[in-house]
Amino acid sequence: MQYQSLALPPSNVQSLLLLPLMIRGQFQGVMGFSQCVTAEA
């Protein structure tokens, strides 16, 4: 299994949820949701 680093730019993130994406038992990546201080357009 290969691991990749996750690069996050500074954006005042207060919380972060990362969910693994598995297709037919194979890891394909992650889907992330974040709660920030200010809304981004």
Using the predicted structure, report yes or no on whether residue 12 has a pLDDT greater than 60: yes
How much is the pTM? 0.51
Each residue's pLDDT tens digit, 23-35: 999 999 988 887 7
Q: DSSP state, 28?
A: E
40, 12, 6, 33: CA torsion to nearest 10: -50
- Block residue for tokens 């037919």: 24
**CA-CA distances (angstroms) from residue 31 to 7, 40?**
14, 18
pLDDT the model gives residue 8: 62
- Model confidence band, residue 22 (pLDDT cutoffs 50, 70, 90): very high
Integer Rg of the chain from CA: 13
pLDDT the model gives residue 21: 92
